Chain A
Amino acid sequence: MCGIFAIFSPDGQPIEPQPHLGSKHSLRELAYRQSGKQRHRGPDDTGVAVIDAKGVALVHERLSVIGVETGHQPLYSQDGQVVLIANGEIYNYLELAAEIANQRPNYKPKSDSNVIIELYEQHGVDLLQKITGMFSFVLYDQRKGQVLVARDPFGIIPLYMGQDAKGNIWFASEMKCLVEFCKQLKIFPPGHFAAGSVQELEPRRYFNPNWLLDTPTQPVQFNGLREKLESAVRSHLQCDVPFGALLSGGVDSSLIAAIATRIMRERDPAYKLRTFSVGMHGSPDFKHARMVAQHIGSEHTEVAFAVDDCLDGVRDLIYHLESYDIATVRCSLPMFYLARYVKSTGIKMILSGEGADEIFGGYLYFHNAPNYEEFHREMVTRCEQLHVSDILRANKVTMSKGLELRVPFLDTSLVNYVMNIRPQDKIPGPLNEFEGKRSKRIEKFILRSAFANDYLPDAVLWRQKEQFSDGVGYDLIDALPQFVARHVSDAQITEAAKRFPINPPKTKEAYYYRTIFEEQYPGEAAALTVEKWAPRLDWGCPEDPSGRAQSAHEKNYGKC
């Protein structure tokens, strides 16, 4: 994965050198410097394209994962007129490259992102209907003076858009590149694109499946589900560098690791996946991860930390996350620690289980859904919010250490398949009506059942969900209030709404995170990019987002 950065003058005229922190910066110097704030995303290489006459600068920070030797960006069309910077992975690029080669016999696939330029030349904006994967990209067509910007359906890859005082339009993978200059600033929404001249760049939706609006009626088919997930994992394994998988001890990441192992063993029967889990000494997740590692024969590492080690990272973490949401910060602390460790072993890509809870309805509070329609609606909402919660976390935390995280559960065609399954089959608890038989079933029942055939030990396959922040060790969650209390006084909390009128923090913990965020990302526009976890209080969720607090936990949900 990588980082992308762009500046466009509003009228296609040159952007004059400007003073910045005491010295004169040309457009190129400014772009290189600001993009430098996300250089952790691309530790391997920086590429710059400046078209001075048009006031255009594009910068790419690269982590080389596919096409190590040929994937340097920015990428250019054959005639040099189209320039592209892209972040992400196009999982169907080999297929697409074969199609292109059909029409242009001398075409040689260079890297996954390269197909975007070729498809643009043939199909224009419609290229978005062809590519699948996680991506955000900025493409500039010098011939027409036009820009095409797009972001993947679920926002696995981040993208921000801003405008400075002179009207120049800025894009960046992370907000930290923009906040100094752009008074206006917003998240570029997932599943959207913007095309045209610089002044008409308004995000419009291109990803519009039926399940966003309609409640589906298709019953689940285990074979279909299994094949879809297997092919999602297969496409996510394209990688030219050492990789591994996270094992949280829950069913989602464990399944991904198990499937990946089977696929890799097709070619090399002795293959051992490298797996990692993180936790405090004695964390319950270690035990389950160890069972999985043993079951799938992985080369497993347990990364254990002390509470203080994690707390040290709070400030840096908020800087990297660009969020003050409590749940996001909490869950990210152990992962931040883990990502650094994994990277230090030489691994550049890691598989993980994010997304399953959203599309299968795995969160414990889904037990409280009153009916099928509302259950489905809530899943849709969660999918749409992924990019400000789990996916934001997963991407920015790992990329802060130059590690690429891939999430096969969010493969576009898998999500479409799962979100088209009728909610009666998915809903957890007594309302479940799988195969027309109403019975109390565990959350993600259909996922577990589809992989019942020796993929995982039963104790993990049927294990109830722990929120990541709980599974990692209750001591950390318990230590946080004490830690933050040293920083925030009672008087400050009562003034919270005055100091932070947008999303005012209600607890000392929230207040502390917010002050750190404010120090690094001052201004209203930045504060508005953050979505706070809004618990379904009407479904009986507590204010505190930690999973353990919910009543469904520890209740028995048998295999039915």
Chain B
Amino acid sequence: MCGIFAIFSADGRPIEPRVHHGSRHSLRELAFRQSGKQRHRGPDSTGVALIADQGVAMVHERLRVVGVEMGDQPFVSTDGNLVLVANGEIYNYLELSAGIAKRRGHYKPKSDCNVIVELYEDFGVELLQHITGMYAFALYDKRTQELLLARDPFGIIPMYVGHDAAGNLWVASEMKCLVECCVSVETFTPGEARFGKVGALRRWRHFEQPWMKQIPSVPCDLSLLRSSLESAVRTHLQCDVHLGALLSGGVDSSLIASIATKIMRERDPAFRLKTFSVGLRNAPDFEAARLVAKYIDSEHKEVVFGIDEALDGIRDIVYHLETYDVTTVRCSLPMLLLARYIKSTGIKMILSGEGADEIFGGYLYFHKAPDAVQFHEELVKRVEQLHLSDCLRCNKVTMAKGLELRVPFLDTAFVNYVMSIRPQDKMAGEQNCLGGVQQHRIEKHILRAAFADGYLPDSVLWRQKEQFSDGVGYDWIDNIRRVATSHVSDEEFAGAAERFPFNTPTTKEAFYYRCIFEEQFPGEPAARTVMRWVPRLDWGCPEDPSGRAQAVHQVNKD
């Protein structure tokens, strides 16, 4: 994965040098410097394309994962008129490359993102209907001075846009590149596209699906579910460097690791996946992860952390995450330590289980959904918010250490399939009606049932969810809450609404994270890019988002 950055002048005229931190910066220098703030995303190389006479600078920070030798960006079309900076992976690029080669008679695939330039030549903005994967990109056409910005359906890859005082358009993977220079900043929403000249960008949604508006009625087909997930994992394994997988001890990440192992063993029967789990000493997750590692015979590593060690990272994690959401901060700290460890072993790409809870309804509070319609609507909402919570967390935390995380559960085709399954088959608890038989079933029952045949040990396959931050050890939440709270006096907290009128923090812990955020990302536009976890109080959820607090935990499995 990588980081992308671009500046487009408001009127297509050159952007004059400006004084920045006391010295004069040409457009190139400004772009290189600001993009440098996300260089952790692309530790391996930086590429700059400058079209000075049109006031355009595009920068790419690269982590080499696919097409190691050929994939340096920006990509420029053969005639030099199109320039692209892209972040992410286009999982169907080999297929697409074959199509391009067929149409043109000759085309040599360079790297996955290169197909975007070629497809734009052939299809214009319709190219978005052809590519699948996780991505965010900016493409510029010198001939027409038009640009195309787009982001993947679920926002696995981050992207922000902003405007400076002169009206120039700024684009970056992380907000930290923009805040100093832009008067307005916003999240570029998932599944969105913008096209045109800078002042007249047309916006539309390139990803629209029936399941977003209608309650699906198709019953679940377990074997189709299995083959769909297997093919999602298969596409996510395209990688020219060392890879591994996270094992949280829950069913989601364990399944991905198990499927990946089976696929890799098709070619090399002796293949052993490298797997990693993180926790405090004696964390509940370790035991379950160990069972899985043994079962799939992976080369497993447990990364044990101390509480102080994780707490050291609070400030850095808020900076990297670009959020002050309490849940996100809490569960990101152990993951930051883990990401650093994994990167130090030479691994550049890691598979993980994010997304399953959103599309299958795995969160414990889903037990409290009043009916199938509201259950499905809540799933849709969670999928739409992924880019502000789990996707944001797992992308930015791993990229903070130059590690690419891939999430096969969020494969577009797979999500479309699962979200088209009728909610009655997915519901957790008493209302589940799989196969027309109503009975109490555990959350994510259909996922577990589809992989009941030799993928995981039963005790993991049917293990109830722990929120990530609980699974690493119950002490963790108590400690981070205590330490964060200790930084805030009663007096300071009393002034919370005055100091932070937008999204006012309601606990001292939240107040502390907000202060750190404010120090690094001052101003209301930055604060508005963050979504706080809003619990379904109407479903009986507690204010505190930690999973353990919920009554359903430890209820009997079906």
A binds B: yes
Which residues of A does B touch, CB under 8 Å?
Answer: 21-24, 28-29, 32-33, 36, 43-46, 48, 64, 242, 308-309, 312, 315-316, 340-341, 343-344, 346, 401, 486-487, 515-516, 519
How many residues of B sit at the interface, in one of the four size bands?
A: 20 to 34
**What are 20 A-B residue pairs whose CB atoms fall within 8 Å in the complex?**
A23-B487, A29-B315, A43-B343, A44-B341, A44-B344, A45-B341, A46-B312, A48-B308, A48-B312, A315-B33, A340-B43, A343-B43, A344-B45, A401-B43, A486-B17, A487-B23, A515-B22, A516-B23, A519-B22, A519-B23
- The residues of A that contact B312 with a CB separation of less than 8 Å are 28-29, 32, 46, 48
Q: In the complex, which of the residues A46, A312, A401, A486 contacts B32, with contact meaning CB atoms closer than 8 Å?
A: A312
The answer to whether B344 and A308 touch across the interface, beta carbons within 8 angstroms, is: no
The answer to whether B519 and A23 touch across the interface, beta carbons within 8 angstroms, is: yes
- The residues of B that contact A22 with a CB separation of less than 8 Å are 515, 519
The answer to whether B26 and A486 touch across the interface, beta carbons within 8 angstroms, is: yes
- The residues of B that contact A341 with a CB separation of less than 8 Å are 44-45
- The residues of A that contact B316 with a CB separation of less than 8 Å are 36
The answer to whether B487 and A316 touch across the interface, beta carbons within 8 angstroms, is: no
- The residues of B that contact A48 with a CB separation of less than 8 Å are 308-309, 312
The answer to whether A21 and B341 touch across the interface, beta carbons within 8 angstroms, is: no
- The residues of B that contact A43 with a CB separation of less than 8 Å are 340, 343-344, 401
B28 interface contact, C-beta 8 A: yes
- The residues of B that contact A340 with a CB separation of less than 8 Å are 43-45
Q: Nearest B residue to A241 by beta-carbon distance?
A: B346
B168 interface contact, C-beta 8 A: no
B21 interface contact, C-beta 8 A: yes
The answer to whether A45 and B33 touch across the interface, beta carbons within 8 angstroms, is: no
Q: In the complex, which of the residues B64, B315, B401 contacts A33, with contact meaning CB atoms closer than 8 Å?
A: B315
User: Please, how many angstroms separate the alpha-carbon atoms of A515 and B22 in the complex?
Assistant: 9
- What is the CB-to-nearest-CB distance from A393 to chain B, in angstroms, rounded to a whole number? 21
User: Please, how many angstroms separate the alpha-carbon atoms of A401 and B42 in the complex?
Assistant: 12
Q: Nearest B residue to A520 by beta-carbon distance?
A: B21
The answer to whether A312 and B516 touch across the interface, beta carbons within 8 angstroms, is: no
- The residues of B that contact A309 with a CB separation of less than 8 Å are 46, 48
User: Please, how many angstroms separate the alpha-carbon atoms of A33 and B311 in the complex?
Assistant: 12
User: Please, how many angstroms separate the alpha-carbon atoms of A22 and B45 in the complex?
Assistant: 35
User: Please, how many angstroms separate the alpha-carbon atoms of A81 and B70 in the complex?
Assistant: 54
User: Please, how many angstroms separate the alpha-carbon atoms of A45 and B303 in the complex?
Assistant: 12
B334 interface contact, C-beta 8 A: no
Closest 8 pairs between A and B when the two form their complex, measured CB to CB: A44-B344, A344-B44, A32-B312, A312-B32, A346-B346, A22-B519, A519-B22, A515-B23
The answer to whether A23 and B516 touch across the interface, beta carbons within 8 angstroms, is: yes
User: Please, how many angstroms separate the alpha-carbon atoms of A519 and B346 in the complex?
Assistant: 35
> Mask for B215-251, Cβ within 8 A of A = 1, else 0?
0000000000000000000000000001000000000
Given contacts A21-B519, A48-B312, contact A312 B28 (CB under 8 A): yes
> Mask for B13-51, Cβ within 8 A of A = 1, else 0?
000010001111010110011001000000111101000
The answer to whether A64 and B344 touch across the interface, beta carbons within 8 angstroms, is: yes
- The residues of A that contact B43 with a CB separation of less than 8 Å are 340, 343-344, 401
- The residues of B that contact A64 with a CB separation of less than 8 Å are 344
The answer to whether A23 and B515 touch across the interface, beta carbons within 8 angstroms, is: yes
- The residues of A that contact B340 with a CB separation of less than 8 Å are 43-45
- What is the CB-to-nearest-CB distance from A408 to chain B, in angstroms, rounded to a whole number? 25
Given contacts A23-B516, A44-B344, A309-B48, 5 further A-B contacts (CB under 8 A): A43-B340, A44-B341, A48-B309, A64-B344, A401-B43
Q: Nearest A residue to B31 by beta-carbon distance?
A: A312
The answer to whether B64 and A344 touch across the interface, beta carbons within 8 angstroms, is: yes
Q: In the complex, which of the residues A24, A308, A401, A515 contacts B48, with contact meaning CB atoms closer than 8 Å?
A: A308
Q: How many A-B residue pairs have CB under 8 A?
A: 70
- The residues of A that contact B516 with a CB separation of less than 8 Å are 23
Q: In the complex, which of the residues B23, B309, B487 contacts A24, with contact meaning CB atoms closer than 8 Å?
A: B487
Indicate the member of A23, A24, A48, A515 with the most B CB atoms within 10 Å.
Answer: A23
User: Please, how many angstroms separate the alpha-carbon atoms of A5 and B145 in the complex?
Assistant: 51
- What is the CB-to-nearest-CB distance from B25 to chain A, in angstroms, rounded to a whole number? 9
- What is the CB-to-nearest-CB distance from B482 to chain A, in angstroms, rounded to a whole number? 14
User: Please, how many angstroms separate the alpha-carbon atoms of A32 and B313 in the complex?
Assistant: 9
- What is the CB-to-nearest-CB distance from B24 to chain A, in angstroms, rounded to a whole number? 6
- What is the CB-to-nearest-CB distance from B404 to chain A, in angstroms, rounded to a whole number? 13
User: Please, how many angstroms separate the alpha-carbon atoms of A511 and B308 in the complex?
Assistant: 45
- What is the CB-to-nearest-CB distance from B203 to chain A, in angstroms, rounded to a whole number? 33
User: Please, how many angstroms separate the alpha-carbon atoms of A81 and B415 in the complex?
Assistant: 57
The answer to whether A312 and B48 touch across the interface, beta carbons within 8 angstroms, is: yes
- The residues of B that contact A45 with a CB separation of less than 8 Å are 340-341, 344
- What is the CB-to-nearest-CB distance from A37 to chain B, in angstroms, rounded to a whole number? 12
- The residues of B that contact A29 with a CB separation of less than 8 Å are 312, 315
> Mask for B313-349, Cβ within 8 A of A = 1, else 0?
0011000000000000000000000001101101000
- The residues of B that contact A487 with a CB separation of less than 8 Å are 23-24
> Mask for B57-100, Cβ within 8 A of A = 1, else 0?
00000001000000000000000000000000000000000000
User: Please, how many angstroms separate the alpha-carbon atoms of A108 and B36 in the complex?
Assistant: 44
Interface members, chain B 347-365 (any A CB < 8 Å): none
- The residues of B that contact A516 with a CB separation of less than 8 Å are 23
User: Please, how many angstroms separate the alpha-carbon atoms of A309 and B49 in the complex?
Assistant: 11
- What is the CB-to-nearest-CB distance from B3 to chain A, in angstroms, rounded to a whole number? 14
- The residues of A that contact B33 with a CB separation of less than 8 Å are 315
- What is the CB-to-nearest-CB distance from B505 to chain A, in angstroms, rounded to a whole number? 14
Q: Nearest B residue to A486 by beta-carbon distance?
A: B26
User: Please, how many angstroms separate the alpha-carbon atoms of A316 and B308 in the complex?
Assistant: 32
User: Please, how many angstroms separate the alpha-carbon atoms of A22 and B36 in the complex?
Assistant: 25
- The residues of B that contact A308 with a CB separation of less than 8 Å are 28, 48
User: Please, how many angstroms separate the alpha-carbon atoms of A44 and B48 in the complex?
Assistant: 28
- The residues of A that contact B48 with a CB separation of less than 8 Å are 308-309, 312
User: Please, how many angstroms separate the alpha-carbon atoms of A349 and B32 in the complex?
Assistant: 28
The answer to whether A316 and B36 touch across the interface, beta carbons within 8 angstroms, is: yes
- The residues of A that contact B315 with a CB separation of less than 8 Å are 29, 33
- What is the CB-to-nearest-CB distance from B32 to chain A, in angstroms, rounded to a whole number? 5
User: Please, how many angstroms separate the alpha-carbon atoms of A341 and B43 in the complex?
Assistant: 9
Q: Nearest B residue to A26 by beta-carbon distance?
A: B487
- The residues of A that contact B309 with a CB separation of less than 8 Å are 46, 48
- What is the CB-to-nearest-CB distance from B226 to chain A, in angstroms, rounded to a whole number? 35
User: Please, how many angstroms separate the alpha-carbon atoms of A308 and B52 in the complex?
Assistant: 14
User: Please, how many angstroms separate the alpha-carbon atoms of A270 and B339 in the complex?
Assistant: 35
- What is the CB-to-nearest-CB distance from A505 to chain B, in angstroms, rounded to a whole number? 14
- What is the CB-to-nearest-CB distance from A24 to chain B, in angstroms, rounded to a whole number? 6
User: Please, how many angstroms separate the alpha-carbon atoms of A515 and B24 in the complex?
Assistant: 11
- What is the CB-to-nearest-CB distance from A403 to chain B, in angstroms, rounded to a whole number? 11
User: Please, how many angstroms separate the alpha-carbon atoms of A309 and B47 in the complex?
Assistant: 8
User: Please, how many angstroms separate the alpha-carbon atoms of A343 and B346 in the complex?
Assistant: 10
User: Please, how many angstroms separate the alpha-carbon atoms of A242 and B487 in the complex?
Assistant: 43
- What is the CB-to-nearest-CB distance from B496 to chain A, in angstroms, rounded to a whole number? 15
- The residues of B that contact A343 with a CB separation of less than 8 Å are 43-44
Q: Nearest B residue to A315 by beta-carbon distance?
A: B33
User: Please, how many angstroms separate the alpha-carbon atoms of A519 and B343 in the complex?
Assistant: 32
User: Please, how many angstroms separate the alpha-carbon atoms of A496 and B29 in the complex?
Assistant: 24
- What is the CB-to-nearest-CB distance from A363 to chain B, in angstroms, rounded to a whole number? 33
User: Please, how many angstroms separate the alpha-carbon atoms of A36 and B312 in the complex?
Assistant: 10
The answer to whether B23 and A312 touch across the interface, beta carbons within 8 angstroms, is: no
User: Please, how many angstroms separate the alpha-carbon atoms of A45 and B313 in the complex?
Assistant: 12
User: Please, how many angstroms separate the alpha-carbon atoms of A315 and B343 in the complex?
Assistant: 27
User: Please, how many angstroms separate the alpha-carbon atoms of A33 and B26 in the complex?
Assistant: 31
User: Please, how many angstroms separate the alpha-carbon atoms of A344 and B2 in the complex?
Assistant: 13
Indicate the member of B23, B24, B36, B341 with the most A CB atoms within 10 Å.
Answer: B23
User: Please, how many angstroms separate the alpha-carbon atoms of A221 and B453 in the complex?
Assistant: 74
> Mask for B365-393, Cβ within 8 A of A = 1, else 0?
00000000000000000000000000000
- The residues of B that contact A242 with a CB separation of less than 8 Å are 346
